[in-house]
Chain A
Amino acid sequence: MAGFYRLLVRRSINLLIVLFLVLVLTVALLGETMDKILTDNIRQQVIGSLIESKIKFPNAEARQAYMDQQIELQIRNLGLDEPWYSPKRFLNTILKVLMLDLGRSYFFTNDNGSPEVKDIIAERVPLTLLLFTSATVITFIFGLYLGPYLAERYGKTIDKANVFVSMFSSSLPTFWVGMIMIYLFAFIVPIFPARSTPQSSPSDPLYIIDLLYHMALPLITLVILSIAVQSYFVRLFVVNILDEDFIRAKRAIGVPRKKILYSHALRNAAPPLLNSIIIGLAASFGGALLVETVFDWPGIGSLFYQAITVFDVPIIIGLVYVSTMIYIAAVFLTDLAYSAFDPRVKAIS
Chain B
Amino acid sequence: MTFQTIPSSKSNIIRGFRSSKLGQTGIIILILLVGISIYTVTSVPLTSFRQWNSPSYWVDYPASAAPAWTNLGFFGPTAAVHTILTSESGEVSKQTDRGIYIVSRSFSTNFEYNSYPTDFMIPYSIRYGSIPPVLEINVTRPDGYNFRIYYSALPSNDGVTVSSQLQSVSSRIFSTDQDISKNLRQYTSLFKYFPDNTRPQVMLFSDTQKKEILKGPYTFEVTFYFYDDQDSADEIRVILGGTVYGFLGTDAFRRDLAIGILWGTPVALFIGLTVAVATSFIAMIYGITAGYKGGRVDEVMMRINDFFISLPVLILLILISVRYGLNIFLIVLLLILFGWAGGARLTRSLSLQIKTFQYVEASKMMGESDMKIIFRHVVPQLLPLTFATIAYSVPGAILAEAGLSLLGLSDLAIPTWGRILNEANAASATTLGLWWWIIPPGIMIGLTGLSFALIGYTLEHIYNPRRAR
| Residues of A participating in the B interface, judged by any CB pair closer than 8 Å | 11, 14-15, 17-18, 22, 25-26, 29-30, 33, 154, 160, 163-164, 167-168, 170-173, 175-177, 179-180, 182-183, 186-188, 194, 236, 239-240, 279, 282-283, 285-287, 289-290, 293-294, 304-305, 308-309, 311, 316, 320, 323-324, 327-328, 331
B431 & A14 in contact (Cβ 8 Å cutoff): no
- Which residue in A14, A239, A279 is a CB contact (below 8 Å) of B303? A14
Residues of A within 8 A of B306 (CB): 11, 14
Residue among A164, A171, A187 with the highest chain B CB neighbour number at 10 A: A171
Check B316–A173 contact: CB distance below 8 A: no
Contact B457 A320 (CB under 8 A): no
Residues of B within 8 A of A293 (CB): 406-407, 425
A–B Cβ pairs within 8 angstroms, 11 of them: A14-B306, A173-B442, A180-B438, A187-B431, A240-B466, A282-B312, A293-B407, A304-B318, A308-B322, A316-B318, A328-B310
Bound-state Cα–Cα, A279 to B318, Å: 20
Measured CB to CB, the closest approach of chain A to B49, in angstroms, equals: 22
- Tell whether, in the assembled complex, residue B425 and residue A183 are in contact, meaning their CB atoms are under 8 Å apart: no
The residues of B that contact A167 with a CB separation of less than 8 Å are: 449-450, 453-454, 457
Within 8 A of A (CB), among B17-48: 22
Hey, which chain A residues are within 8 Å of B313, CB to CB? 282, 286
Partner of B307, one of A14, A175, A182, A324: A14
The answer to whether A320 and B319 touch (CB under 8 A), given A14-B307, A176-B421, is: yes
B323 touches A173 (CB 8 A): no
| Proximity bits, B430-448, A CB within 8 Å = 1, else 0 | 1101010011011001111
For B433, the closest partner residue in chain A by CB is A187
Contact check, A15 vs B446: say whether CB atoms are below 8 A apart: no
Given A282-B313, A290-B406, A327-B312, are A168 and B431 also a contact pair (CB < 8 Å)?
no
Residue ID in chain B nearest A291 by CB atoms: B406
B446 near A309 with CB under 8 A, answer no
| Shortest Cβ distance from A159 into B: residue | B469
Assembly CA distance A268 to B380 (angstroms):
33
Instruction: Report whether B310 and A186 are in contact in the complex, using a CB–CB cutoff of 8 Å.
Output: no
Once the chains are docked, how many angstroms separate the CA of A327 from the CA of B310?
9
Complex alpha-carbon distance, A304 and B430, angstroms: 21
Q: How far is the CB of B435 from chain A (nearest CB, A)?
A: 6
Q: Which 8 A-B pairs have the closest CB atoms?
A: A171-B449, A176-B442, A286-B314, A167-B453, A182-B430, A29-B323, A172-B446, A327-B312
Question: Which chain A positions have C-beta within 8 A of B342?
Answer: 279
Any A CB within 8 A of the CB of B354: no
Chain B residues with CB under 8 A of A320: 315, 318-319
Q: Which residues of B contact A324 (CB under 8 A)?
A: 312, 315
Question: In the assembly, what is the distance between CA of A179 and CA of B22, in Å?
Answer: 28
Residue of A nearest to B457 (CB): A167
Q: Are B446 and A22 in contact (CB under 8 A)?
A: no
Closest to B324 in A: A29
Stretch at the interface among B102-110, B231-239, B289-297, B395-403: B395-403
Cross-interface CB contact of A171 among B399, B418, B439, B441, cutoff 8 Å:
B399
Tell me whether B408 is interfacial, beta carbon within 8 Å.
yes
Closest A-chain residue to B321, C-beta based? Answer: A308
A26→B424 CA distance, assembly (Å): 30
Which residues of the other chain, A, contact B408 by a CB distance below 8 angstroms? 305, 308-309
CB within 8 Å for A25 and B310 given contacts A14-B303, A171-B395, A182-B431: no
Nearest chain A residue, comparing its CB with the CB of B448: A171
**Across the interface, do A22 and B438 meet the contact criterion of CB distance under 8 Å?**
no
Q: What are the interface flags for B391-423 relative to A under an 8 Å C-beta threshold, 1 for contact and 0 otherwise? A: 000011001001100111100000000100100
Residue of A nearest to B452 (CB): A171
Q: With contacts A167-B450, A171-B446, A179-B429 known, what are 14 further pairs, Cβ within 8 A?
A: A22-B315, A30-B323, A164-B22, A168-B453, A171-B449, A173-B418, A176-B421, A182-B430, A194-B431, A293-B407, A294-B406, A294-B425, A305-B406, A316-B318
Closest to A175 in B: B406
- In the assembled complex, how far is the CB of residue B331 from the closest CB belonging to chain A, in whole angstroms? 15
Contact with A290, one of B307, B315, B403 (Cβ below 8 angstroms): B403
Bound complex: CA A174 to CA B457 (Å): 22
A180–B438 alpha-carbon span in the complex (Å): 8
Q: Which residues of A contact B452 (CB under 8 A)?
A: 171
Quick check: B430 and A283 within 8 Å, CB to CB?
Answer: no
Whether the pair A30, B406 counts as a contact (CB closer than 8 A) is: no
Q: Inside 8 A of B22's CB, which chain A residues have their CB?
A: 160, 163-164
Chain B minimum-CB-distance residue to A289 = B314
User: Which residues in A have their C-beta under 8 angstroms from that of B318?
Assistant: 304, 308, 316, 320
Residues of B within 8 A of A18 (CB): 307, 310-312
Partner of A173, one of B319, B322, B403, B447: B403
Q: Quick check: is B169 within 8 A (CB to CB) of the other chain?
A: no
Instruction: Give the docked Cα–Cα distance between A46 and B421 (Å).
Output: 45
Chain A CB within 10 Å — which of B306, B310, B403, B448 has the most?
Answer: B310
Which chain B residue has the least Cβ–Cβ distance from A283? Answer: B396
Residues of A within 8 A of B448 (CB): 171
In the complex where A282-B312, A289-B314 touch, is A175 in contact with B421 (Cβ < 8 A)?
yes
- Residues of chain B with a CB closer than 8 A to A286's CB: 312-314, 403
Tell whether B300 is near chain A: CB-to-CB under 8 Å: no
Tell me, in angstroms, the Cα distance from A236 to B313 when the chains sit together: 27
Cα A168 to Cα B448 with chains together (Å) = 9
Closest chain B residue to A164, Cβ basis: B22
Least distance between A302 CB and chain B CB atoms (Å):
10
Note all chain B residues with C-beta closer than 8 A to A11.
306
A294 partner residues in chain B, CB cutoff 8 A: 406, 425
Check B445–A186 contact: CB distance below 8 A: no
| Distance in angstroms between the alpha carbons of A287 and B403 in the assembled complex | 8
Specify the chain B residue showing the minimal Cβ separation from A172. Answer: B446
A170 partner residues in chain B, CB cutoff 8 A: 395, 449, 453
B26, closest chain A residue (CB): A167
Instruction: Take A22-B316, A180-B439, A286-B314 as given contacts and tell me if A168 and B450 are in contact as well, using a CB distance cutoff of 8 Å.
Output: yes
In the complex, how many angstroms separate the beta carbon of A127 from the nearest chain B beta carbon? 18
Residue of B nearest to A272 (CB): B1
CB contact under 8 A between A179 and B446, given known A18-B310, A30-B322, A324-B312: no
Please report the C-alpha to C-alpha distance between residue A251 and residue B29 in the assembled complex, in whole angstroms.
43
Q: Chain B's nearest CB lies how many Å from the CB of A177?
A: 7
Say yes or no: is B6 at the interface (Cβ < 8 Å to chain A).
no
The residue that A194 contacts in the complex, of B312, B407, B430, B435, with Cβ under 8 A, is B430
A124 CB, nearest partner CB in chain B, Å: 15
Interface: B320 (CB within 8 A): yes
Check A15 against B403 for contact (C-beta < 8 Å). Answer: no
Question: Nearest chain-A residue to B303 (Cβ)?
Answer: A14
- Inter-chain contact B446/A183, CB cutoff 8 Å: no
Give the CA-CA distance A177 to B402 in the complex, in Å.
13
- Beta-carbon contact of B312 and A323 below 8 Å: yes
Q: Are A176 and B316 in contact (CB under 8 A)?
A: no
CB–CB A25/B433 < 8 A: no
> Given the complex of chains A and B, what is the CA–CA distance between A11 and B303 in angstroms?
10
Q: Which residues of B contact A328 (CB under 8 A)?
A: 310, 312
Interface centre among A173, A282, A293 (most CB of B within 10 A): A173
